[in-house]
DNA sequence: ACAGGATATTCGCATATACGCATCCACTTA
DNA sequence: TAAGTGGATGCGTATATGCGAATATCCTGT
């Protein structure tokens, strides 16, 4: 039975488990951006971007700053970007060694 | 529209988005373990553990090694553990500064 | 106060995920 | 080869997630 901390930990990780949210975080590496800018940059409809931003907000992954009619979003903790980067490195290394083989051959054969 | 790499990246991150899988990875920090050992350590039913291990396998997060009647599981890439650790640090920092406030007050007030 | 741009929220639906239970498969030992 | 153990898989169901469409809210300028 998983404990409370593991559940929070998993919730936080789950936040990165969406291609659009990953791209939002990538886009925010260059600094704060408004919802409209993100929507345009990722070519994703605004309500959809807002939904993903809401998820990121709930987990405390991004911060908001209001300026006039716009709302600027930014990454709340650089460690999130670091973790994200590490995962990407893992992915790259996997692709290099063709993990496909493992994926397709399934579980340990006996 | 998210590109292919972001989708793979997200898929990989999604793998960490389960409390049980987080605990499996934590348990594997101490070295390889069999399904039975994991099941006992986490107090989770064996089929359920197997299901989660299957997910971790498909994403190439864990490796398997057969020894006799047992199958030993291990983390495939230490960077995964590192990323996991970074996320936990983020979580701890969040708790320290009581992110609850932000979570409850919702989006940017105007 | 009104119009319009920027962002958030609600709803409905389609799809994905987690779990328990039962069962099946592989390996070992007798 | 039969029995037992370790592990994987299939099925049914409950719950969660993602998306589009429509709508609501807030802000600025007039």
The 10s digit of each residue's pLDDT in A3-17 is 999 999 999 999 999
In a domain, B21, yes or no: yes
Instruction: Determine the distance in angstroms separating the CA of B78 from the nearest CA of chain A, rounded to an integer.
Output: 9
From B4, B3, B5, select the one nearest A43 (Cα to Cα).
B3
CATH number for the domain including B71?
1.10.10.10
The answer for residues whose C-beta is within 8 angstroms of residue B32's C-beta and 6 or more apart is B65, B72, B73, B74
Asked if residues A40 and A82 have their Cβ atoms less than 8 Å apart, the reply is no
Please check whether residue B11 is in contact with residue B55, taking contact to mean a CB–CB distance below 8 angstroms: no
Provide the pLDDT for residue B1: 80
CA distance A76 to A15: 13
DSSP one-letter string for B42-64 = HT--HHHHHHHHHHHHHTT-EEE
Q: How far is the CA of B64 from the C1' of D13 (A)?
A: 31
**Residue A110 lies inside a defined structural domain of this protein:** no
pLDDT in tens, A60-110: 999 999 999 999 999 999 999 999 999 999 999 999 987 665 555 555 544
Which residue out of B8, B13, B64 would a mutagenesis test of the A interface target, given it has the greatest number of A Cβ atoms within 10 Å?
A: B13
Choose, out of B87, B94, B103, B104, the residue to mutate when testing the contact with A (most A CBs < 10 Å). B87
The predicted pLDDT at position A2 comes to 85
Residue tagged 């789950």 (tokens): A14
Q: Which residue of A has its CA nearest to B48?
A: A1
Residue B110 has pLDDT above 70, yes or no: no
Report the C-alpha gap between A99 and B110 in whole angstroms: 48
pLDDT, tens digit (0-9, with 9 covering 90-100), for B35-54:
999 999 999 999 999 999 99
Q: What is the mean pLDDT of residues B74-100?
A: 93
CA distance A90 to A99: 11
Q: Is the CB of B46 under 7 A from strand D?
A: yes
Instruction: Give me the interface pTM, i.e. the ipTM.
Output: 0.91
CB neighbour list of residue A29: distance below 8 Å, 6 or more residues apart: A75, A81
In degrees and rounded to multiples of 5, residue B17 shows phi and psi of -90, 45
Instruction: Please give the nucleotide, over all strands, whose C1' is closest to the CA of residue A14.
Output: D17
pLDDT of residue A109: 45
- Spell out which residues of chain A touch residue B21, defining contact as CB-CB under 8 Å: 10
Q: Least CB-CB distance to B83: which of A17, A26, A86? A: A86
Q: Answer yes or no: is B109 within a domain.
A: no
Q: Shortest CA distance to A13 belongs to which of B44, B90, B57?
A: B90
The percent of residues in chain B predicted with pLDDT above 90, rounded, is 85
Determine contact, residues A3/B20, Cβ cutoff 8 Å: no
CA distance A110 to chain B (A): 8
* CB burial string B72-100: b at 16+ within 10 A, e below: bbebbbebbebbbbbbbebbeebeeeebe
| Structural domain contains residue A84 | yes
Angle (nearest 5°) at CA A28 between B11 and B89 = 65
Q: What is the pLDDT of residue B2?
A: 85
CA A47 to C1' C7 (Å) is 8
Range of the domain at B21: 4-98
Q: How many domains does chain A have?
A: 1
Of the ranges A32-46, B10-24, B92-106, which one carries the lowest mean pLDDT score? B92-106
Window 61-80 of chain B: CB closer than 7 A to strand D: 64, 69-71
The whole-number pLDDT of residue B109 equals: 42
Looking at CA atoms only, how far is residue B31 from chain A in angstroms?
18
pLDDT of residue B36: 98
pLDDT tens, residue by residue, A18-56: 999 999 999 999 999 999 999 999 999 999 999 999 999
């Amino acid at each position: 039975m998983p404990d409370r901390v593991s559940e929070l930990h998993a919730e936080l990780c789950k936040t990165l488990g969406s291609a659009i949210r990953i791209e939002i975080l990538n886009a925010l590496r260059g600094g704060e951006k408004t919802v409209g800018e993100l929507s345009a940059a990722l070519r994703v409809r605004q309500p959809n971007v807002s939904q993903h931003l809401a998820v990121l907000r709930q987990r405390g992954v991004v911060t908001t700053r209001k300026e006039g009619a716009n709302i600027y979003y930014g990454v709340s903790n650089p460690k999130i970007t670091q973790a994200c980067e590490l995962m990407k490195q893992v992915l790259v290394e996997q692709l290099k060694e063709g993990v496909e083989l493992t994926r397709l051959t399934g579980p340990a054969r006996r």
